[in-house]
């Protein structure tokens, strides 16, 4: 069964999409030698802005509304998801469900009026979860049914936190939402970790903020991602950072770019903590 990791934080611009894209692509590279579901990764873009699809070279408006993620969310019963899957042009074992920006905006608007509105994504992807080891879900920067669907579908959550005073203090609402999802849907929903992002060593308060995060979320703070021009350039080139700054040796993720080393650490932590589950108990 796939490990389904939702990347969530209602605050905008904290590195959700960057993390979703680089985690999905890093896992795809790392597991590319494996046959069958163990080597296959799915990326789901629940943000109507479509930045995750854009960053993996799919474009934001890449499907008819009726054959897009939006149809999976609002049609009853949902259409079959299998024929929708598309393969990434950079990673042959990475797949996406195409989006349609206006249709996903509309889906977010009408979901509250539909029955089972919180669990529609979970239900729609259930027939294909056994085909993947990891499903990574990017989410929009607000609380609404699109975010709730991404949380209800998830087994794990990664919370990117911008390394600033405001970033650390703004997580209460998300934690309340996660608690509600645990109570009503999935008691096992696990916070895989808080990921400090946009970390700036030049600023004097950075260490203090990292210490504060450690104090609040002891044992749950992941190794930080620093500010890096490579991440910004890779994003505008519609690439993940591992494709933009490839390593010398093909079997490695990390190159001379610090961003590749830092996201490679995240990939390894995810594999270390969840691989048994993702591979159905195989070592």
Ligand X SMILES: Nc1ncnc2c1ncn2[C@@H]1O[C@H](COP(=O)(O)OP(=O)(O)OP(=O)(O)O)[C@@H](O)[C@H]1O
- In eight-state DSSP terms, residue 224 is P
Residue 262 CA from chain centroid, whole number? 16
**107 binds ligand X per the rule CB under 6 A:** no
**15 binds ligand X per the rule CB under 6 A:** yes
How far apart (Å, rounded) are the C-alpha atoms in residues 271 and 73?
29
**232 binds ligand X per the rule CB under 6 A:** yes
Rounded to a whole number of angstroms, the minimum distance from the CB of residue 77 to ligand X is 30
The conformational region for residue 190 under phi > 0 = left, psi -120 to 50 = alpha, else beta, is: beta
Rounded to a whole number of angstroms, the minimum distance from the CB of residue 142 to ligand X is 8
- What phi and psi, each to the nearest 5 degrees, are found at residue 250? -65, -25
Burial call 179-203: b when 16+ CB within 10 Å, e when fewer? eebeeebbeebbebbbbbbbbeeee
**14 binds ligand X per the rule CB under 6 A:** yes
**245 binds ligand X per the rule CB under 6 A:** no
**164 binds ligand X per the rule CB under 6 A:** no
**3 binds ligand X per the rule CB under 6 A:** no
- Of residues 49 through 108, those in contact with Mg ion by CB under 5 A are 51
**120 binds Mg ion per the rule CB under 5 A:** no
CB nearer to ligand X: give 18 or 100. 18
The dihedral built from the CA positions of residue 259, 263, 268 and 272, taken in this order, carries a sign that is positive
- Of residues 46 through 75, those in contact with ligand X by CB under 6 A are 47, 49, 51
The binding track of 5-44 with respect to Mg ion, each residue x by CB under 5 A or -, is -----------xx---------------------------
**255 binds Mg ion per the rule CB under 5 A:** no
Q: What is the dihedral of CA 237, 240, 243, 248, to 10 degrees?
A: 130
Provide the binding-site residues for ligand X, judged by CB under 6 A. 12-18, 47, 49, 51, 141, 197-198, 225, 227-228, 231-232, 235
């Amino acid at each position: 069964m796939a490990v389904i990791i939702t990347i969530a934080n209602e605050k905008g611009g904290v590195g959700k999409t960057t993390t979703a894209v680089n985690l999905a692509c890093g896992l795809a590279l790392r597991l590319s030698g494996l046959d069958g579901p163990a080597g296959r990764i799915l990326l789901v873009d629940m943000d109507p802005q479509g930045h995750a699809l854009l960053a993996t070279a799919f474009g934001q408006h890449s499907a008819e509304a009726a054959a897009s993620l939006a149809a999976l969310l609002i049609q009853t019963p949902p259409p079959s998801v299998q024929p929708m899957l598309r393969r990434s042009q950079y990673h042959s074992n990475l797949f996406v469900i195409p989006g349609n920006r206006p249709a996903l905006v509309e889906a977010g608007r009408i979901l509250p009026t539909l029955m089972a509105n919180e669990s529609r994504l979970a239900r729609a992807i259930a027939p294909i979860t056994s085909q993947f080891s990891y499903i990574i879900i990017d989410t929009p920067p607000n609380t609404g049914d699109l975010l709730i669907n991404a949380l209800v579908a998830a087994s794990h959550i990664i919370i990117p936190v911008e390394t600033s005073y405001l970033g650390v203090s703004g997580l209460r609402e998300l934690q309340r939402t996660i608690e509600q999802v645990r109570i009503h849907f999935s008691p096992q929903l696990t916070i895989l970790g808080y990921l400090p992002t946009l970390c700036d060593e030049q600023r004097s308060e950075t260490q203090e903020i990292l210490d504060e995060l450690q104090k609040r979320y002891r044992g749950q703070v992941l190794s930080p991602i620093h500010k890096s021009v490579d991440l910004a350039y890779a994003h505008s080139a519609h690439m993940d950072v591992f494709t933009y700054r490839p390593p010398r040796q093909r079997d490695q993720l990390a190159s001379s770019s610090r961003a590749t080393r830092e996201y490679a650490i995240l990939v390894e932590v995810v594999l270390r903590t969840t691989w048994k589950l993702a591979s159905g108990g195989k070592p």
